[in-house]
A and B are shown apart, each in its own frame.
Chain A
Amino acid sequence: MPSLLNRNMLIGLFMALLSLLFILYIAPEYIEEPGFIKNPIMSPRWLPMIMGSCVFILSLTLCFQEWLSSSKSIDPVSKERSIDVVVLIAVLIGYVLAFERLGAVLTAIVACLSLFALRARRSMALYLLAMIIPIAVYFFFTEFLNVPLPRGIFDD
């Protein structure tokens, strides 16, 4: 009896549902189509709809292929997971939310300090590095490359 649910089967089902949602709701709702188009290829909806349909067909093919294959095994996945990833996600969100408010340098220093504290050997030199490198990179971008990185709370 072939395995009904393995990882690829789940991906296939997920992608098929997603593509159906796209074809039936997202594309008609969020792609404007001018009324005067005669040739369907010229429509702004044509390529997205074709791609959505391709994803749907390919996803079903993936499910069918998995169903036919006698392999019951699920790819080995390491159970060794860390909650450090939660801190990383917080750092990523922090970068987006605080980049303009706090400024590029301060956000980068906080992010580097947080991530160094997670996995690196804790030492004074490393924390100094977490402060010096963002400042140096900031000056390289702003002074040498003329990139106006936000100064945040240091803005006049």
Chain B
Amino acid sequence: MDIFSEVLALFLSVDNFIAIVFGVIVGVFVGAIPGLTATMAVALALPFTFSLQPVTAILLLVGIYKGGMYGGSITAILIKTPGTPAAACTLLDGYPMTQQGKARKALQTALYSSCIADFISNLSLIFFAAYLAKIALNFGPPEFFWLICFSLTIIVSVSGDAVIKGLIAACLGILTSTIGLDPVYGSERLTFESFDLMDGISFVPLMIGLFAIPEVIEFYYRKIEPTVVTAVDHSRLTWHEFRKYLKTIVRSSVIGVLIGSIPGTGATSAAFISYGEAKRTSPNKDNFGKGEPEGVAASEAGNNGVAGATLIPLLSLGIPGDVITATILGAFMIHGLTPGPLMFQDNLAMIYAIFCGIMLSSIVLLIVGSITIRHFSRIAEVPKAILLPLVLLFCVFGTFAVNNNVFDIALMFLFGLLGFFFLRVKMASAPFLIGFILGPMLEDNLRRTVLIGKGDPMIFFRGPITWIFIGLTIGSLIFAIRRWQSQRSGNTLSQS
């Protein structure tokens, strides 16, 4: 009973409520600006937490994190510009929905999926933290290697009808990710003696360039009437429609939780894996990539399922899973707290007060999101002739903000031209992005496995987790090849 009253005393404070609401609002807006990520927002807010109580400080950062994760989907859906890397998958179906005049429905699907995933993720954090952390600790380089191999199989799903072109794009993405200094030996790879390329290519210019800039170029490339306005259908997502996607949302949330609890994986991979799984199992699989709400739901549930779960290794083991949790770890330490098993003994009341706040943040996200959707969905009504120059402005400023370097702006435009080339030759851009994200992880874990195994190939098959992922990879490939074959035979029949 003592602990219960202590938790209430710590949690029920006006400051905590203000911190959560303010954090979520800031997160949603910063996440919605192309180039500005939730990571950046959390890092910027850290100095403001010095004078706050520990619980209030952590809740402010968690609020920003969760708001940012959802906010990234807004611009991905409305203007094909993912606000955060994790939202890159959402645009595959979100933007086509906007083009069909269903922006509001897409935003609602994204919001409700995000909130449900967030809630499931929080419950996992509260009830299964110790168990999931134990599983996560069994992940070594060989397990990671096969997890990434499994993740790479989704390339076939997101390539649409042109699988070979999608695979070429993925290889080019992996190749692009190798630019910079070699992580083991420090030797230069494809830097062409440019100092700016030594650190490799930043993710933000590549992502914005690949998705947002081609839309701008395409608009000015085509001779069309300047007064074209997207027809906006103000219809809402009905309960009947939403109920159909619930299974996908729950499955994607679980995928997000599992991936989020493994340190070093991230929301972007979770979103793509969830999307791939949804596409494999959905009765509407042929509509994926053409404006399928289930695709938006899967992607958003996948990336938001990660939000609470990344706190599992942080709170239970003291291991930050990504940059955001590393910043939150910093906030804990600034306030004299060290996350890990001992924290559950010494500061149990504080942990539970934080859990209460995290649960509340899901509800706040739902309320803030519902209010903002009304206003954000109007962006789709702005004529493109006015909207696109402003999108370009945000892209330029946002890209510059990553490293304060004009070189990144040039890179963004170069990738924009590449994206435009992909658009014209009907080559999907998503496989390029997936290759770019997973390439370094693949190489790193492959090399580490070889080092650990001292040349023995059996290290790749060392335990049940590796076998599970090998099975999933093979199964996924067989499924994808069979689907591709049936699609091809269908196309041949329709042509004849």
Residues on A facing B (Cβ under 8 Å): 7-8, 11, 15, 22, 26-27, 30-34, 39, 41-42, 44, 47-48, 51-52, 54-55, 58-59, 61-62, 65, 70-71, 75, 77-78, 80-82, 84-85, 87-88, 91-93, 95-96, 99-100, 104, 108, 111-112, 115-116, 118-121, 126, 129-130, 133-134, 137-138, 141, 145-149
In the assembled complex, how far is the CB of residue A145 from the closest CB belonging to chain B, in whole angstroms?
6
The distance in angstroms between the C-alpha atoms of A119 and B401, with both chains bound, is 29
Pick the contact of B383: A62, A71, A112, A120 (CB < 8 A).
A120
- Knowing A47-B178, A112-B393, the reply to whether A7 touches B425 (Cβ < 8 A) is yes
Query: How many residues from B make CB contacts under 8 Å with A?
Result: 65
- Per CB-CB distance, the 9 closest pairs between chain A and chain B, nearest first, are A119-B385, A32-B187, A115-B389, A44-B182, A120-B385, A80-B223, A82-B223, A147-B401, A119-B226
Closest partner residue, chain B, to A55 (CB atom): B171
- Knowing A104-B400, A134-B393, A149-B397, the reply to whether A121 touches B226 (Cβ < 8 A) is yes
B450 within 8 A of A: yes
The distance in angstroms between the C-alpha atoms of A8 and B427, with both chains bound, is 10
Closest partner residue, chain A, to B390 (CB atom): A133
B222 pairs with A62, CB closer than 8 A: no
Beyond A11-B425, A108-B393, list 8 extra A-B contacts (CB 8 Å). Answer: A33-B187, A42-B184, A48-B189, A51-B174, A55-B171, A95-B409, A96-B406, A116-B385
A11 pairs with B187, CB closer than 8 A: no
A42 CB contacts on chain B under 8 angstroms: 184, 447, 450-451
B50 within 8 A of A: no
A47 pairs with B185, CB closer than 8 A: no
B400 CB contacts on chain A under 8 angstroms: 99, 104, 147, 149
Pick the contact of A116: B184, B389, B425 (CB < 8 A).
B389
Among B36, B171, B383, B416, chain A packs the most CB atoms within 10 A around the CB of B171
The distance in angstroms between the C-alpha atoms of A110 and B205, with both chains bound, is 22
The distance in angstroms between the C-alpha atoms of A91 and B385, with both chains bound, is 15
A26 CB contacts on chain B under 8 angstroms: 190
- Knowing A32-B188, A47-B443, A99-B409, the reply to whether A75 touches B426 (Cβ < 8 A) is yes
In the assembled complex, how far is the CB of residue A60 from the closest CB belonging to chain B, in whole angstroms?
10
In the assembled complex, how far is the CB of residue B307 from the closest CB belonging to chain A, in whole angstroms?
22
133-156 of chain B: CB within 8 A of chain A = none
The distance in angstroms between the C-alpha atoms of A36 and B191, with both chains bound, is 22
B226 pairs with A31, CB closer than 8 A: no
27 CB < 8 A contacts A-B = A11-B427, A32-B187, A41-B446, A51-B171, A51-B178, A58-B168, A62-B168, A71-B495, A80-B223, A82-B221, A82-B223, A95-B409, A104-B397, A112-B393, A115-B385, A115-B388, A118-B385, A119-B219, A119-B226, A119-B385, A120-B383, A129-B386, A137-B397, A147-B397, A147-B404, A149-B400, A149-B401
A39 pairs with B187, CB closer than 8 A: no
Q: Is the interface of A mostly helix, strand, loop or mixed?
A: helix
The distance in angstroms between the C-alpha atoms of A44 and B495, with both chains bound, is 46
In the assembled complex, how far is the CB of residue B79 from the closest CB belonging to chain A, in whole angstroms?
15
The distance in angstroms between the C-alpha atoms of A8 and B184, with both chains bound, is 38
161-203 of chain B: CB within 8 A of chain A = 164-165, 167-168, 171-172, 174-175, 178, 182, 184-185, 187-192
B467 within 8 A of A: no
The distance in angstroms between the C-alpha atoms of A108 and B416, with both chains bound, is 18
B474 CB contacts on chain A under 8 angstroms: none
A81 CB contacts on chain B under 8 angstroms: 221-223
The distance in angstroms between the C-alpha atoms of A121 and B446, with both chains bound, is 56
The distance in angstroms between the C-alpha atoms of A82 and B219, with both chains bound, is 9
The distance in angstroms between the C-alpha atoms of A65 and B165, with both chains bound, is 12
In the assembled complex, how far is the CB of residue B155 from the closest CB belonging to chain A, in whole angstroms?
12
B396 within 8 A of A: yes
B439 pairs with A47, CB closer than 8 A: yes
The distance in angstroms between the C-alpha atoms of A138 and B189, with both chains bound, is 36
B178 CB contacts on chain A under 8 angstroms: 44, 47-48, 51
The distance in angstroms between the C-alpha atoms of A129 and B389, with both chains bound, is 11
Pick the contact of A108: B188, B191, B192, B396 (CB < 8 A).
B396
B129 within 8 A of A: no
